[in-house]
Structure 1
Amino acid sequence: MAAQDVVIGVDMGTTATKVVAYRRDGELIARWQRGYPLDEPQPGHAVQDPRLILAAVLTGVAAVSAEIGHDRVAGLSFSTAMHSLMGLDAELRPITPVITWADTRATAQAARIRAAEGGLALHRRTGTPVHPMSPLTKLVWIREQDPDLHARAAHWVGIKDWVQLHLTGTLVTDHSVASASGLMDIHRLAWDPEALALAGIDEAQLPELVSTTTVLPGLTIEATAATGLAATTPVIVGAGDGPLANLGVGAVRPGVAACSIGTSGALRVAVERPAVDPAGGVFCYALTEDRWVVGGAINNGGVALEWLRGEIAADTPTATLLDEAATVPVGAGGLLMLPHLLGERAPRWAGGARGAYVGLTRAHHRGHLVRAAVEGVAMQLALVLGAMRGAGFDIHEIRATGGVMQHPLWPATLAAAFGTPLALLDDGEGSGFGAALLGMKALGLIDSLDAAAELVEIRARLDPDPASAQTYAVLIPLFGGLADTLAPANRALRDLKLPLA
């Protein structure tokens, strides 16, 4: 029998599930990926079919474990996109699709709760900004707009909870995912009574809260048949993809932040206990009971460029568009893009944001449009960095991960916009690697999360270009003010409810 020296990390992202296998020394030995759609059946709704995600998990685990050898698998550990919500009936069958973080239907409810007395206190208690992304505000929307559905739901869960229910027969949720729900008191690690009252639910409708390193008791007969793994294979509950991305890039010590850009984007720094920004500009989510991350997420990362490519140059490879954009001077000739195609989150946490190009002239060409999109994402993240520093968090290095980092325009733009050195990793599996490392810690294959950070290899370090950083230092305040300037027009356009087709 081969030694069980490999942990499989299952990373259930917004548009794809990735399954990766790592040895205990941090070497990646197998990788698999399958995409699935993010459906928008009507304006403001962003949902998914949970069956497609479950099928991707089962197929991916089967493929990777077969490639490396089933008897080498020490366990499965999970990462998930945060803020998802599903309703289940009394037989634990879905009665809703997966309502994702990108869903903005609860914009009005979030604005009302946020503006009410106690709104900021709710944020400070739960660590989750009051925003349409959060399961709390989604539940308020369902209670008000679809009371029949609200009454029919016996359980409310996240997508990882449901997938692990199918794999293990156990329904639980971890402190990390729960800390991003707006429903858990992060200081007590317990469901928050006031939040539950707002949502119109009780604790019995939510999964049991457990540590992210909890090991579930093996696989069901169905999961064993689908994956080829032994029924005794440990399943580590895991955590949210944001905190795990920090672990996956080794950003688990004070002062070292992680920047991840996939469909969306985020910037986070690790702290040793729950830490809340008094101004409510950043979130606080759990990795483990003694390791937390503080930061902010943005709704629009790589999706901004992919949308633009699909609309203006569908037959042109993304790398070619980025090559064109790299020939355009920093600042895109005075063109700014607010990349708020899916609304926006940090650091304003105000629903209703919409995208815009500002400063557009006939002199601008395709390269300018693309460069402005990249710069818009970078400047949005720079606003998050400013909020983190304004809340008292010292950040002297940023470690970046995500597929977009493969083209040099992205890391160069980020480093200059941040005005901070950027460390680039050898591979882009931040959250998947983080899940595997957390699994290794849970199974005793590594001693600590700090030791896990030593396994992370940095392939390059990039200092910000001084001239570019100076340009962005001027542009970022202009960029930051545009969302407030355009907010009245965006509200008016939303209220018109003009049809798309």
Structure 2
Amino acid sequence: MDILALDLGTSSVRGLVLDADAVPRPGALARRKVHLVTGDDGSGTLDGPRYLACLMECLDELAAGGHLRDVELVATSAQWHSVLPLSADGAPLGPVLTWMDTRPEALPGAGGPADPDAFHARTGAWWHRCYWTMRLPWLREHCGTPVTRFGGLVEYALGVLLDEAPMSVSMASGTGLLDLRRLEWDAEACELAGVRPEDLPALAPQRWRGRLRVEYAQRWPQLTDARWAAPVGDGAASNVGSGCVDPSRAAITVGTSAAVRLLQAVPAGAELPPLPEQLWRYRVDHEHVVTGAAYSSGGNLFAWAARELRLPPGAELEAALARAGASRTLRANPRLGGDRPPGVTPAGSGELRGLSFGTTAVDILAVLMTEMCGLVAQDLALLEAGVGEPAEVVLGGGAMAASAWWRAAFVEALAPRPVRHQRNPEIGATGAALVALGRIAEAAHVGGIGRTDDRDAPNTVAARPPR
């Protein structure tokens, strides 16, 4: 049996094929970049139909290469918090609002939860622009067309491809509308969002499986009998793919954005552990929760600086960073994209202070990246206070695979904690496969975790030799 793992990210769509042990098949990787539209007004949107077309192109490429012939299970890692307005037949009425969009705000006269602390404890979220409690009323005001229903990006895409596409509890938890203990839509959150529970997507039951529509089974006949597992939020999937599946290990993932998270086993109906007021909590599946903090700046910060400061590429930049270190006179605020919840700092809040005629472009990049490490370290301490000190930290994600210097900066910021590195950049897809297989606990022994100064080829999926 093979597993097709899909990763519906902010900057790209990826599909890869893994064996029954969730080990990537050599060369079975397809990737398409997607265009995130951003603006000075705080917008951060994707074109839903074009995104779906990119996903289909990945499946076409894998099918043409003969990689789908033994696939029996399809797993999906998808970005949390996305939402788009839909017509009655499921057609988009506007672009997809991603986690990066900071425009939604409370409508005049709107009030928040009656008891914010109790609301946070139940839903793991806040009344905040990132969640559907504030996004749905704002979208209705700005859509220009009456909205029949709403969905996330993955529900839209799978709604086209599959016979049915209920929302997983993992994706539902990222809306801010789910009662994390009872695993049903929260009445107060729905009231804030201006919807009835019956107007929201149906929630997928435990061990739900879907199937391709007939027309798409004809397009990809190798997937005719494959079963599709309920999608997993990208942060949860990344923790599993990083081997961080209990409080002994914290995952720090840096892709387009960045996050620090701890995973705990908490079955549906069980009492939830205490939740620090500055941290969010979402569902991995019916049996596990993940708690953490996220940041709008991550690999996108590195990419912006490299592009706008015209920095040298690859090894040349790494060598320049090693020579420059982090300037002790420079100070920076890396919140170029604003705050993720619970913060409300808007996009465009980045700062640089302490510039001199001796400051170089490499110095600026170094201080931005170092300050990001400091923000993550502060929130990791909050996580530790809530569940006890993790034995170690695992760095993961494409940005971590690409920069040995940035990994070393994290080691310094997180000292004296042991810090390791997951070399496989496809941690989201791998983690989603392990969740779909019901093998989360086994992920503690996932391969690819090594020293932070390991300089192996970063893309271990594409480069892995045949077994």
TM-score (normalised: structure 1): 0.83
1:17-96 matches, cutoff 5 A: 17-29=13-25, 30-40=28-38, 43-96=41-94
Q: Distance in 2 between matches of 1:435 and 1:197?
A: 32
Tell me, yes or no, if structure 1 residue 367 matches structure 2 residue 362: yes
What's the counterpart of residue 246 of structure 1?
A: 239
AA at the equivalent of 2:248: G
Secondary structure class of the residue paired with 2:69: helix
* Partner deviation per Cα, 1:297-326 (whole Å, 9 max, x = no partner): 111101111111221207x32553343222
Tell me, yes or no, if structure 1 residue 287 matches structure 2 residue 289: no
Tell me, yes or no, if structure 1 residue 173 matches structure 2 residue 171: no
Q: CA RMSD in A?
A: 2.4
AA at the equivalent of 1:428: P
What's the counterpart of residue 376 of structure 2?
A: 381
AA at the equivalent of 1:8: L
* Partner deviation per Cα, 1:444-472 (whole Å, 9 max, x = no partner): xxxx3212432333232569xxxxxxxxx
Where is the helix percentage greater, Structure 1 or Structure 2?
Answer: 1
Q: Distance in 2 between matches of 1:338 and 1:293?
A: 27
1:22-421 matches, cutoff 5 A: 22-29=18-25, 30-40=28-38, 43-107=41-105, 117-143=114-140, 145-146=141-142, 149=145, 152-211=146-205, 213-216=207-210, 218-273=211-266, 275=272, 277-313=274-310, 316-317=312-313, 319-329=315-325, 331-345=326-340, 349-352=343-346, 354-405=349-400, 406-419=402-415, 420-421=417-418
CA shift in 2, pair 1:43/1:147, >3 Å: closer
Contact preservation (8 Å) 1:129, 1:280: no
Q: What are structure 2's unaligned runs of at least 5 residues?
A: 455-467
* Partner deviation per Cα, 1:459-488 (whole Å, 9 max, x = no partner): 32569xxxxxxxxxxxxxxxxxxxxxxxxx
Q: Distance in 2 between matches of 1:413 and 1:6?
A: 38
Contact preservation (8 Å) 1:87, 1:153: yes
Q: Distance in 2 between matches of 1:78 and 1:358?
A: 42
Tell me, yes or no, if structure 1 residue 12 matches structure 2 residue 5: no
Q: What are structure 1's unaligned runs of at least 5 residues?
A: 442-447, 464-501
Secondary structure class of the residue paired with 2:231: strand
The alignment-based identity, stated in percent, is 25
* Partner deviation per Cα, 1:205-248 (whole Å, 9 max, x = no partner): 211111474211x2112322443434222111221010011111
CA shift in 2, pair 1:254/1:111, >3 Å: farther
Q: How far apart are residue 134 of structure 1 and its match? A: 1.7
Tell me which moved more, 120-129 or 75-84. 120-129
Tell me which moved more, 170-179 or 99-108. 99-108
Q: How far apart are residue 361 of structure 1 and its match? A: 2.0
CA shift in 2, pair 1:320/1:334, >3 Å: same
AA at the equivalent of 1:99: L
Q: Distance in 1 between matches of 2:135 and 2:41?
A: 15
Contact preservation (8 Å) 2:374, 2:413: yes
CA shift in 2, pair 1:431/1:211, >3 Å: farther
Q: Distance in 2 between matches of 1:211 and 1:369?
A: 49
AA at the equivalent of 2:261: R
The aligned length equals 445
Q: Distance in 1 between matches of 2:124 and 2:108?
A: 15
CA shift in 2, pair 1:109/1:335, >3 Å: farther
Q: Distance in 1 between matches of 2:232 and 2:330?
A: 39
What's the counterpart of residue 460 of structure 2?
A: none
Tell me which moved more, 370-379 or 389-398. 389-398
Secondary structure class of the residue paired with 2:7: strand
Q: How far apart are residue 59 of structure 1 and its match? A: 1.5
Q: Distance in 2 between matches of 1:461 and 1:317?
A: 21
